[in-house]
Structures are given as C-alpha cells and as structure tokens.
Amino acid sequence: MENKYLKRIADRVLQERLAASGAVLIEGPKWCGKTRTALENSKSHLFMQDPDKAISYLKAADTKPSLLLKGDTPRLLDEWQTAPVLWDAVRFMVDQRGKSGQFILTGSAVPKDNVVQHTGTGRISRLLMRPMSLYESMESNGSVSLKALFDGETEIDNFSTLTIEQIAFAIVRGGWPASIGESEQIALRHAIDYVEAIINADVSRVDGIEKNPVRVRALLRSLSRNISTLATIRTIHDDIAMGDADESISEKTISQYLGALDRIFVTENLPAWNPALRSKTAIRTSPKRQFVDPSIAAAVMRLTPSRLLDDFNYFGFLFESLCDRDLRIYAEAIDGQVFHYRDGSGLEADAVIALNDGRWAAVEVKLGSKEIEDAAVHLLELKNKVNTEKMREPSFLMILTGTEIAYRREDGVYVVPLGCLKD
C-alpha cells in the first residue's frame, strides 16, 4: 500500500510558481520527495528513468522532443536532466503556448555547464526542495509562525512536546519522507543507505568523473566533524591529512569533490550576511559548512540517538544543522533567505533571516537553556551594531532552542523551541 502523502510547504509554493510561470523546475536531493510532490500537483507525467521506456524516451528526445511534452498540464517531466534537450524544448513550448502552469520538471542533480542553450529566465521558475522540516513531519506543533513574527506578532506563549530524546532521533533519522513513521531500525538504515549511495555512485555519476570512494568517505567524515563551522578548504585538507595517508587528498581535488556534492544537493553551505554596520568592523565571508540534512553527518559518523545523547557538544552542532535546515524551508516559503553572521570581533549570529522586502531577523541556536542569557546579549549587541540609517531595525531577535517553553523575554528577545516553529 502506498504511503499516505504528507502535505509539504512546497505544495503551496509550487502552486504559486505555476500560477506565475510557464514551467517550474523542482530541484533537490534524491529521496526528499520531489517526484511525489510534483505528482500531487500535476495532471500528466513522464518518468524519464522508467526502465521499460527509458530507451525509447531518449530516442524521442534526440529526434523530436516535443513528442514527450504532449499531455494534460501541468505535465511532469521527472529526472529531465537525463535528456537535457528537454529544457530547451520546454522553454520553446512555453513561449509557443503563452500560458502559465504548463510543465513541472524534477531533478536531483544540476546538469553540467553548457548542456542547455538557454537559462530559462522568465519562463522556468526554480524551486528548491529539501527533506521534510519538523513541522512537515508533524513533530513541531507549529504554534509559532515565522511569518507572524515578521508581521509583528508578540504573543507566542506556548509549549513544545518534543523531548531532547525525540530531537536526537529526528537528527539521526533525518527528514526523508520514506523514514517518517518507520521504526527506528528502518529509519536509521535509510540514512546510511543514502550516504553509501553518495560515496559509491552518485558523486561520480553527476559529472561522469570517477571519484575514489575512500577519499569521498574521508571528505564526508571531515565535513561531518566540521559541520556548523566556518571550516575552510585548507582546514578540511589538514583534517583529512591527520588520518590515514591513503585518504590524503589535495585542496584542488577537495574543491572538485565539494562541487560534485553541491550539484547533487548533498551539501548546502550557509552564506555569510554582510549588513551595513555603524563601525568598520571586518565581516567574515566564509560560508558555514552544512549538509542538506543533519542525518547525513550522523550516518557518516555511524551515530545512533543514544550515542548522540552521550556527546552533547557534537549534539549541539547537529542541532544547529537541524535548525538551519528548517529555517531555510520556512524562510523560503515566505520569500526569504538564511545567512550566518560573524565579524572580526568574534560576534556572531547562527542564522540571519533576510526577506526580499528588506526585513530581517537574527537567530541564535542553543540546544539547552543554560546559554540563553548569553545568546540574548549577543543578539542585542548585533542589533546595536547594524546601521539602521541604511537598513531596517530587525523585525525580531530569536533564540531557537531544544527546550519546551516559547516566550518573549523582558528585553524583547523571543525564546522559541524548534518543536513550536513553522513557516
């Protein structure tokens, strides 16, 4: 029996994009639910990797790609990048028809450069899907809305029922739709299988360049050890070099491997925020290292929830990664992006949510309650550093936690359990 479809935030965003554009490209890591969401929102479909039809589809793409575009709209073209000519065919057909909502394209890898003639700008809208947030997997009660906070909501008093043990499990399991609702054994196996597929096949298949599985594994281990940090390529190189000599890898090769991981949406670093400041303080521009889902790091390190609970220091880094994943999903649903901030004085914000209309908010992530006071001080210091003659005042300051109670402090800083948050 087919699993019940759990509504995704992307459903609403996809409908909005289809109403505004001739086609929508849904990108993201494999297993994140792209195809299922696209099917829920399409009226006909074409699976390019259907083993019974793949060869004939490829021949049709080579001779007359328009044949593959016939069908009720929106028409889904799943894994379109196996026949890159479909991109230009879709762009042309959108121009010919002059209507919105014609096609949905899905793919789990970015094609190599120069395989398509046109960017699709103005015709094909891009939508990035990630694994499920805690709100989508029904583990967050959604009592605190990110949009409502930006719109001036001040009353957030509520409770999360998510325990620290449940958070540990959610991290190790990940947001993969196939894992939601499964037993611990099955759910944790999915994440491990995902990592092994990356190492042994996916990272080489994306560009046709064979990559050494031993070195890919070593790189993933280093990225896992340095998750939620500003580790440079040199740092990663030196970290790997401290291990077995057989795993040594040049900085150039590391860059190439990282590029391949980016293209299959395994890694998704958090870019640096560069606001206008009152002083001439230097701002760090290095990205924060992240996977698209914290379960990748947990699987690489072969962590179980109980082992994670035994190492609260590393737990904190993975919790930050979990928060970054969910914040990205929620922020993009309200037309925003997520950054991080760190300057030369050492002041930092784990996340900065910047909306396209100029509104912004700063977020510190703290797994427990002991560091809440210091986090609030840092957020207020950042607020005072930003030049509000050139930028808006922050819409809010928030400490995102693994605790139970959502409330507003006397200094105006919000304390919000991740188990309460939604878009």
Three-class DSSP labels, 218-268: HHHHHHHHCCCCCCCHHHHHHHHHCCCHHHCCCHHHHHHHHHHHHHCCCEC
Unique residue bearing structure tokens 């609702």:
181
Looking at the domain covering 9-128, what would its CATH class be? alpha beta
- Give CA 362 to chain center in angstroms: 19
Unique residue bearing structure tokens 């001739």:
22
Quote the pLDDT of residue 244: 59
For residue 89, give both structure tokens.
Answer: 């065919």
Domain range summary for the chain, segments of one domain joined by +: 9-128, 144-422
CA 74, CA 398: separation in Å to the nearest integer? 40
Quote the pLDDT of residue 1: 37
CA 66, CA 52: separation in Å to the nearest integer? 20
Q: Whose CA is closest to 90, among 107, 79, 75? A: 75
Secondary structure class of 338 (helix, strand, coil)? strand
In which region does residue 348 sit, left (phi positive, over 0), alpha (psi from -120 to 50) or beta (all else)?
beta
pLDDT by residue, tens only, the chain of 423 residues: 356 889 999 999 999 999 999 999 999 999 999 999 999 999 999 999 999 999 999 999 999 999 999 999 999 999 998 899 999 999 999 999 999 999 999 987 766 544 555 555 668 999 999 999 999 999 999 999 999 999 999 889 999 999 999 999 999 999 999 999 998 889 899 999 999 999 999 999 888 889 999 999 999 999 999 999 999 999 999 999 887 556 678 999 999 999 999 999 999 999 999 998 888 888 989 999 999 999 999 999 999 999 999 999 999 999 999 999 999 999 999 999 999 999 989 999 999 999 999 999 999 999 999 999 999 999 999 999 999 889 999 999 999 999 999 999 999 999 999 999 999
Q: Whose CA is closest to 270, among 327, 224, 344, 335? A: 327
Secondary structure class of 63 (helix, strand, coil)? helix
Q: Whose CA is closest to 216, among 241, 196, 234? A: 196
CA 130, CA 120: separation in Å to the nearest integer? 22
CB 401 within 8 A of CB 370: no
User: Side chain identity at 323, as an amino acid letter?
Assistant: C
Quote the pLDDT of residue 149: 98
Instruction: Name the pTM for this structure.
Output: 0.94
Q: Whose CA is closest to 170, among 196, 197, 133, 143? A: 133
Quote the pLDDT of residue 118: 54
CA 213, CA 194: separation in Å to the nearest integer? 14
User: Side chain identity at 98, as an amino acid letter?
Assistant: G
Quote the pLDDT of residue 205: 87
